[in-house]
Amino acid sequence: MRIVLTGANGLLGKYIISQKPPVADLHCMSRGTPLSGNGDCEFQILNILDFPRLDAALRDFRPDVIINAAAEGRVDEVQGNQEKYQRLNLELPAFLAKYAFGSGSYFIQISSNAVFGGSESPYSDLAPLTPVNDYGALKAAAEHAVIEANREALIIRPILMYGWPHPGGRMNPVVAWVRALRSGSPIRVVDDVWTEPLAAWDCAGVVWKGIELKAAGPINVSGGQRMSLFEFATLTARVFEFDPARITAISSDSLPGLAPRPVDTSFDLVRLRSEFGLVTSPPLLGLQDLKLMD
């Protein structure tokens, strides 16, 4: 089974690679130099936004599966800069979905909970897309473009993911909190935004299960336990044996200038548990496993 992965340098990419089954020939395409620890993956440095060159590379490798985990995921960076990131976050998924359909490859697009507005949780897999920021708008537009180009594609929507990134990779909230706690830096976390934290390795497991099932359409993925970001931060402190009193709860209104965030995008996880037969790690268990990996 020949598989192309974009976004291998990202958090999810790391765990997709680490869970690669022996039957898979994994080929990673990236615009940047591979970060250390990329593991069992043939790495090709390629401007994946140069679609003619990307098309030629795909035709040369002839993948059975294409996984697109490449995107600009910094919500505040994308806000007000949709045009700058449209090619990466929208046109690339559309191109890959169309290529996969034409070549007979199976396609997986990694989307986001940001496609939902946060006022009608828990969200089903087929809930209408109602983004409240530019990042979510591009992700929602990408979902529509992928389905239009390829009805057999799978769209995976992870919620807030955590895990140890590649050395030099972008931090996620848990890693940022642990580093701040270790250094003695103050931490302020909002207590009016709710999420269902997701271990990145669990999301990677959904990717590989999707390939096994050749599932199509959208699927929501989370850790299954709703909590505020502040509650998640204090739980992180306890698991890593720091004083949770060092974390201060604040309101979103005290952080002006940030892109709007959906207040609550909790998922119902019906498809994940019934069709995929998967149960993800609740935050306490996931954080305990993360500590063991440290």
Domain with residue 248: its CATH number is 3.90.25.10
Which runs of E-coded beta strand occur in the chain? 2-6, 25-30, 42-45, 65-68, 106-110, 154-158, 161-162, 187-190, 194-195, 198-199, 217-221, 227-228, 247-250
Domain that holds residue 179: 173-194+227-264+282-293
pLDDT for res 83: 96
Q: Classify residue 168: in a domain, yes or no.
A: no
Do 216 and 131 belong to one domain? yes
Do 147 and 255 belong to one domain? no
pLDDT for res 33: 79
Q: Which residues contact 146 (CB under 8 A, 6 or more apart)?
A: 93, 94, 97, 107, 109, 153, 155
Q: What is the per-residue pLDDT across 213-261, written as a single tens digit (0 to 9) for each?
A: 999 999 999 999 999 999 999 999 999 999 999 999 999 989 888 899 9
Do 33 and 109 belong to one domain? yes
Q: Classify residue 179: in a domain, yes or no.
A: yes
Q: Classify residue 89: in a domain, yes or no.
A: yes
Do 201 and 183 belong to one domain? no
Do 148 and 62 belong to one domain? yes
Do 44 and 134 belong to one domain? yes
Do 177 and 207 belong to one domain? no
pLDDT-flagged residues of the chain (< 70): 36-39
Do 222 and 138 belong to one domain? yes
Do 113 and 184 belong to one domain? no
pLDDT for res 41: 87
Q: Classify residue 7: in a domain, yes or no.
A: yes
Q: How many domains does the chain have?
A: 2
pLDDT for res 37: 56
- Give the residue from 253, 250, 255 showing the smallest Cα distance to 230: 250
Q: Classify residue 232: in a domain, yes or no.
A: yes
Do 206 and 108 belong to one domain? yes
CATH number, domain containing residue 9: 3.40.50.720
Do 122 and 251 belong to one domain? no
Do 289 and 204 belong to one domain? no
Q: Classify residue 167: in a domain, yes or no.
A: no
